[in-house]
């Protein structure tokens, strides 16, 4: 009830085979959610993005799940996979989410 917005960039482990997988718990979410996953990410594959997006949709969660043309970990400037354009998009989407939900 206290969280209005949540954003995750290059997340991992959101869809697993475990009984407590995060994608099975999304019904409790009341916040607006933004998830940006890298196109090259074995911890959040295209199939996992699809499953997570469908779980949020079924739960009626206001959300966006998108793919970035980048590798997992693209945001931090001190990583070898840092991507300037994808990082700028990350900031734009996060600030827009916060403006829409908190503004």
56 CB neighbour count, 10 Å cutoff:
20
- pTM exceeds 0.75: yes
The single-letter DSSP state of residue 18 is S
User: In this structure, are residues 94 and 36 in contact, taking their beta carbons and an 8 Å threshold?
Assistant: no
- Reported as a single tens digit per residue, the pLDDT across 28-80 is 999 999 999 999 999 999 999 999 999 999 999 999 999 999 999 999 999 99
Q: Provide the token pair at 82.
A: 């840092």
Residue 43 DSSP SS3: coil
């Amino acid at each position: 009830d206290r969280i209005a917005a949540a954003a995750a960039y290059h997340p991992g482990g959101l869809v697993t085979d475990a009984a407590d997988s995060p994608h099975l718990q999304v019904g409790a979410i009341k916040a607006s959610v933004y998830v940006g996953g890298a196109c090259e990410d074995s911890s959040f594959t295209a199939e996992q993005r699809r499953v997570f997006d469908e779980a949020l949709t079924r739960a009626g969660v206001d959300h966006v799940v998108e793919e970035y043309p980048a590798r997992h970990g693209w945001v931090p400037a001190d990583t070898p996979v840092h991507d300037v354009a994808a990082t700028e998009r990350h900031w734009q989407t996060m600030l827009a989410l916060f403006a829409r939900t908190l503004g």
